[in-house]
Amino acid sequence: MLKHVKAIAMTLLIVAVIVTATVIIHESGHFAAGTLLGCKDVQVTLFDEHLETYTKMSCGSIGQVKFDAIALGGLMFILPISLVLFLLNKKNYSMIIFGFNLVISSSDYTYFLPSAAVYASIIAGALTVIYGESLLVDRYTKYLGAIGSYSQNQ
């Protein structure tokens, strides 16, 4: 039982680091897209007094395509990282990063997708995070079990 508690505690710590890094990279995507598309005064706010994270910028009158590109910038910055981790057989981390990115990107979609698609993104993201966390807990439970069986044999 104790090894499961240790595995869950370790998982929560790792997930906290992954979530923080994902938010920073996601907002960096909006920053990069806004800067590349000519927006001025681009500012990233990480965890304001309401624990909200967002990117502000002045873009003047831009077309819908540029607006959508800025909105999708956060999602697109995370996809290569998640794909590389998946290909390196780090599915647990890949699933957590990709799933959480789907959840936090849902607020970006509200401008150009119907609400049903936004809710689907949140649900798919949450299920993907849960799957990634279950892989992570399973990994650490096996790891702690191997350590325990090694110490018992000594």
List residues bridging with 54 in a β-sheet. Answer: 45
Q: What mean pLDDT is predicted for residues 3-16?
A: 80
Q: How many other CB atoms are found less than 10 A from the CB of residue 101?
A: 27
Is 3 a residue whose pLDDT tops 80? no
Q: What mean pLDDT is predicted for residues 50-78?
A: 87
Structure tokens given for 66: 């540029």
Q: What mean pLDDT is predicted for residues 78-101?
A: 94
Among 91-95, 104-108, 146-150, whose mean pLDDT is lowest?
146-150
pLDDT of res. 107: 85
In 3D, which of 55, 52, 53 has the Cα closest to residue 31? 55
Q: What mean pLDDT is predicted for residues 52-68?
A: 85
Q: Which residues contact 103 (CB under 8 A, 6 or more apart)?
A: 121, 122, 125, 126, 129
pLDDT of res. 64: 83
pLDDT of res. 144: 63
pLDDT of res. 151: 45
Q: How many other CB atoms are found less than 10 A from the CB of residue 69?
A: 16
pLDDT of res. 86: 94
* C-alpha dist (Å) from residue 55 to 4, 5, 13, 52: 39, 37, 26, 10
What value does the mean pLDDT of the chain take? Answer: 85
> How far is the C-alpha of 71 from the C-alpha of 132, rounded, in Å?
25
Strands 54-58 and 40-45: antiparallel
* C-alpha dist (Å) from residue 148 to 1, 8, 137, 145: 12, 16, 16, 5
Name the residue with higher pLDDT: 14 or 84: 84
Domain that holds residue 46: 2-153
Counted domains in the chain: 1
Is 147 a residue whose pLDDT tops 60? no
Name the residue with higher pLDDT: 144 or 67: 67
Is 126 a residue whose pLDDT tops 90? yes
Is 94 a residue whose pLDDT tops 80? yes
